[in-house]
Amino acid sequence: MKSRIEQVIKDKIRSNILYIDYPLTNIKFAKYICGLANKEGGMIILGVYDDGINLHIKNYPFSVNEILIRQLLSHPLEFKVEDYLIENGKLRVLIVDKAENLIKVEGVAYMYSDNGNFEEITEKTIFMSYTHNETNIASLIEQKLGDRCGERIKISRDINRLKYKDSIKEYMETIKKHDFVISIISDKYLKSQACMYEILELMRDRDYYKKLLFTVISESDVDTYFGESEEQVKPTLYSAERFNYITYWQEKLEQLKTTEKKITNPAHKSELVSEIKEVELITINIGDFIEKLKDGIGVSISELVQKDFDQFYEIIMQ
């Protein structure tokens, strides 16, 4: 290790390496260790002055309280403190491994950026929109993204967030407050009033398409995840049949309006009127939404699994 330290200093390597020649507080040590661990790991070499161009070896007579530093980290983390005598300078080196879990200090996560700064990591929130027919796929996405992103993301699903007597509508309206929305697009999804209501709420954001990550059920997905099903699962987005979704909602709207005419008591009409307004909005917007899906070249579940969800991961973590 000593020869490696000597070579690193000689070559002026700064990638994932900090050079410090002044005393640090325990909290500062913890933040630096946190930042390196949340990236790729690295080293803190104490006793070297970095003037931005050259590295100058000095002594580091100050202590490093490993016990207190470890107590400041949110998760156990492997790091070592070793002393080396190099060019008559006593150096102290902290060797930090890459963290398996997101490390935080005082509730805040840090990461060492490519430009040499330590930046706070903000937790990305993800709303999952799907019908219960695709619950198994939603669980797969949650598991795979959770494995890759760890505590850097927080996924909202109705089965995880809603409790007995909670308002489903209020929960659905939180969709626009999330950083990203993952929609599992199936035939049933595009005919679901609840799912389309969620999309309507999302579309209130002018830049909603930037937040939308969607997967389109393919034939291979049907065979793998649905087995034999008499119901249509794969959506018809890439042919003229996509216009059937527009006529579907137009017909649903006409059915509701016909029902309204049959109800004479105004007291019984209020809830139905609200339903009609909601379906009217879906009817108005469904065409634009489907065109966005068609033009967006959606990825199938099989393709996501094959690439370990890189398509979603790269967008979420950028």
CATH code for the domain of 169: 3.40.50.10140
Q: What is the Cα–Cα distance from 231 to 188, expressed in whole angstroms?
A: 9
Q: What is the Cα–Cα distance from 284 to 209, expressed in whole angstroms?
A: 17
- Give the model's confidence band at 165: pLDDT under 50 very low, under 70 low, under 90 confident, else very high: very low
Average pLDDT over residues 270-294: 91
Instruction: From 97, 94, 69, select the one nearest 83 (Cα to Cα).
Output: 94
Q: Is the pLDDT of residue 69 over 70?
A: yes
CATH of the domain at 70: 3.30.950.30
Q: What is the Cα–Cα distance from 63 to 212, expressed in whole angstroms?
A: 50
**What pLDDT score was predicted for residue 162?**
44
Q: Is the pLDDT of residue 164 over 60?
A: no
Q: Are residues 16 and 107 in the same domain?
A: yes
Q: Are residues 88 and 43 in the same domain?
A: yes
Q: What is the Cα–Cα distance from 64 to 91, expressed in whole angstroms?
A: 12
Model-level pTM? 0.71
Q: Are residues 134 and 219 in the same domain?
A: yes
Q: 189 is written with which tokens?
A: 């999804």
Choose between 247 and 226: higher pLDDT: 247
* Proportion of the chain above pLDDT 90, given as a percent: 55
Region label for 278, one of left (φ > 0), alpha (ψ between -120 and 50) or beta (otherwise): alpha
Choose between 178 and 264: higher pLDDT: 178
Strand partners, 112: 118
Q: Are residues 137 and 272 in the same domain?
A: yes
Neighbours of 80 (CB within 10 A): 12
Which three-class secondary structure state does DSSP give residue 80? strand
Q: Is the pLDDT of residue 169 over 90?
A: no
Judging by beta carbons within 10 Å of its beta carbon (0-12, 13-18, 19+), is residue 179 exposed, middle or buried?
Answer: middle
Average pLDDT over residues 101-108: 88
**What pLDDT score was predicted for residue 18?**
93
Domain end (from 121, 154, 185) = 121
Q: Are residues 173 and 96 in the same domain?
A: no
Domain end (from 121, 147, 174) = 121
Range(s) of the domain holding residue 81? 2-121
**What pLDDT score was predicted for residue 121?**
81
Q: Are residues 129 and 255 in the same domain?
A: yes
Q: Are residues 14 and 153 in the same domain?
A: no
Q: Is the pLDDT of residue 49 over 90?
A: yes
Q: 269 with 105: CB under 8 angstroms?
A: no
Q: Are residues 41 and 68 in the same domain?
A: yes
The DSSP annotation for 99-168 comes to PSS--EETTEEEEE-TTS-EEEEPPEEEEEE--GGGHHHHHHHHHHHHHHHGGGEEEE-HHHH--TT--H
Domain end (from 90, 121, 152) = 121
* Domain count within the chain: 2
Give me the chain's average pLDDT, please.
88
Q: Are residues 130 and 99 in the same domain?
A: no
Q: Are residues 289 and 192 in the same domain?
A: yes
Q: Are residues 213 and 289 in the same domain?
A: yes
- Give the model's confidence band at 230: pLDDT under 50 very low, under 70 low, under 90 confident, else very high: low
Q: Are residues 276 and 137 in the same domain?
A: yes
